[in-house]
Amino acid sequence: MATRRTHDEAPDTQQTFARLARTSPGPEHDLLSTELVEAWLPMAHRIAGRFRNKGENQEDLRQVAAVGLVKAVDRYEPVRGPFEPYAVPTITGELRRHFRDHSWDLHVPRRVQDLRNKVRSTRRELMDRPGRTTEPSIEEIAAGAGLTLADVRTGLEALESYSALSLDAEVGASDDGFSLSDTLGSHEPGYDLALDREAAKDGLRHLPERERTILYLRFFEDMTQSRIAERMGISQMHVSRLITRSCAQVRHHADGASANRRAA
């Protein structure tokens, strides 16, 4: 009679893997794959156990590890050498991807994580009962998990907020649903204009009275340089130089103020 191997022993499956490599897809291939997965499942469960203190249900972790094991069996080639050194990174990678995709996006107290796990497992057990078709009530979950109603509510809230929504997540169930990003404010050009005006005001205060008047007539009264020259009693060429120099001074002052705000 064959002796039962302990979990610390690697099962001798090299011949089975060799047969699998020679077998075409079909019932026999599936049977050999299942035999190999069952033989190495204790190893996958041991690897899942290394992640037991990360706030996830242990049974869920075992299922994730089993998925990684199935992938390892499907991809393994006997010429690679022993199966275990190949399978361990594959299973571990599957578990790490699970945590990357499903772990908490914000720091959550351990107590809340534990409540979430208890509520989830109890709700699942209640839903799996024969003939069950409705969602269990808070009172049923509290009784099944040995928790208070307040703790169950906290656990349910944690279930709903386990991970952050993508901005591309759809909101609403209709065909014309919109994404979460559509509910956010869009860029408003008027804000930039208001900021530019405020920045320009301070720069204008540093100009001499004549230069401020010329800029007002040009940009607010929409007067031509020739008309401004007539009104101010100077040449049109001089008006042009004053406008250019004054605008440069206002711009320089506004850029300096903006840099100071960023530094602060």
Residue 20 sits in the same domain as residue 94: yes
Residue 8 covered by a domain: no
179 or 200, greater pLDDT: 200
Residue 128 sits in the same domain as residue 67: no
What pTM does this model have? 0.41
Please say which residue of 59, 78, 102 terminates a domain: 102
What is residue 3's predicted lDDT score, i.e. its pLDDT?
Answer: 39
Residue 227 sits in the same domain as residue 254: yes
Residue 97 sits in the same domain as residue 109: no
Residue 112 sits in the same domain as residue 93: no
Residue 233 sits in the same domain as residue 206: yes
Mean pLDDT of 228-246: 88
What is residue 223's predicted lDDT score, i.e. its pLDDT?
Answer: 86
CATH code: domain of residue 217: 1.10.10.10
What is residue 128's predicted lDDT score, i.e. its pLDDT?
Answer: 83
Residue 9 covered by a domain: no
Residue 85 sits in the same domain as residue 60: yes
User: How confident is the model over 60-79, as pLDDT tens digits?
Assistant: 888 889 999 999 999 888 88
What is residue 39's predicted lDDT score, i.e. its pLDDT?
Answer: 92
Reply yes or no on whether the pLDDT at 136 is more than 90.
Answer: no
Mean pLDDT of 147-170: 70
Residue 226 covered by a domain: yes
Residue 92 sits in the same domain as residue 109: no
Residue 170 covered by a domain: no
What is residue 61's predicted lDDT score, i.e. its pLDDT?
Answer: 85
Please say which residue of 80, 102, 124 terminates a domain: 102
User: How many other C-beta atoms are found inside a 10 Å radius of the C-beta of residue 81?
Assistant: 11
Please say which residue of 102, 134, 151 terminates a domain: 102
Mean pLDDT of 3-23: 74
Residue 45 sits in the same domain as residue 94: yes
User: How confident is the model over 197-226, as pLDDT tens digits?
Assistant: 666 677 777 888 888 889 888 877 788 888
176 or 21, greater pLDDT: 21
Residue 2 covered by a domain: no
Residue 246 covered by a domain: yes
Per cent of the chain over pLDDT 70 is 70
Residue 42 sits in the same domain as residue 21: yes
Residue 218 covered by a domain: yes
Residue 84 covered by a domain: yes
Best CA proximity match to 235, nearest among 225, 223, 222: 225
What is the domain extent for residue 203? 189-263
Reply yes or no on whether the pLDDT at 40 is more than 90.
Answer: yes
Residue 98 sits in the same domain as residue 111: no
Residue 92 sits in the same domain as residue 18: yes
What are the residues whose beta carbons fall under 8 Å from the beta carbon of 148, sequence distance 6 or more?
142
- Let me know the angle formed at the C-alpha of 220 by 217 and 226, rounded to the nearest 5 degrees: 35
Local structure of 178: helix, strand or coil: strand
CATH code: domain of residue 113: 1.10.10
- Tell me how many domains the chain contains: 3
